[in-house]
Structure 1
Amino acid sequence: MRLKSAIWVAAFLRRGQAEGHFGAVLKKGAEEAGAIYVIVNHLDGTFHFLGAPPGSTFSEDGERLWIEEIPFPANQESIDTLLARRRKVDPDIWVVEIEDRTGLGGLTLSKM
Structure 2
Amino acid sequence: MVMGLTTGLWVSAQVRICDRAFIPATVVRRGDPDAGTVLLKINRFEAGVTVYTQASSMDDGPAWSRGTGPSPVAEAEADAYIARQVARDPDLWVLEIEDHKGQYQLDGKVV
TM range (shorter): 0.7 to 0.9
Count of aligned positions: 108
Q: Tell me what 2:101 maps to.
A: 102
Q: Tell me what 2:66 maps to.
A: 68
Show structure 1 runs of 5+ residues with no match.
Answer: none
Q: Tell me, in whole angstroms, the C-alpha distance in 1 between the residues paired with 2:84 and 2:25.
A: 23
Q: Tell me, in whole angstroms, the C-alpha distance in 2 between the residues paired with 1:46 and 1:94.
A: 21
Q: Tell me, in whole angstroms, the C-alpha distance in 2 between the residues paired with 1:104 and 1:94.
A: 22
Q: Tell me, in whole angstroms, the C-alpha distance in 2 between the residues paired with 1:13 and 1:81.
A: 23
Q: Retained in 1: the 8 A contact 2:23–2:98?
A: yes
SS of the aligned residue for 1:38 comes to strand
Q: Tell me, in whole angstroms, the C-alpha distance in 2 between the residues paired with 1:28 and 1:104.
A: 24
Matched to 1:20, the amino acid is: F
Q: Does 1:9 align with 2:11?
A: yes
Show structure 2 runs of 5+ residues with no match.
Answer: none
Between the aligned residues of both structures, percent identity stands at 27
Q: Retained in 1: the 8 A contact 2:25–2:96?
A: yes
In the TM superposition, what is the alpha-carbon distance from 1:11 to its structure 2 partner? Answer: 0.2
**Could you state the TM-score of these two structures normalised by the residue count of structure 2?**
0.83
In the TM superposition, what is the alpha-carbon distance from 1:48 to its structure 2 partner? Answer: 1.5
Q: Tell me what 1:47 maps to.
A: 49
Aligned CA-pair RMSD: 2.1
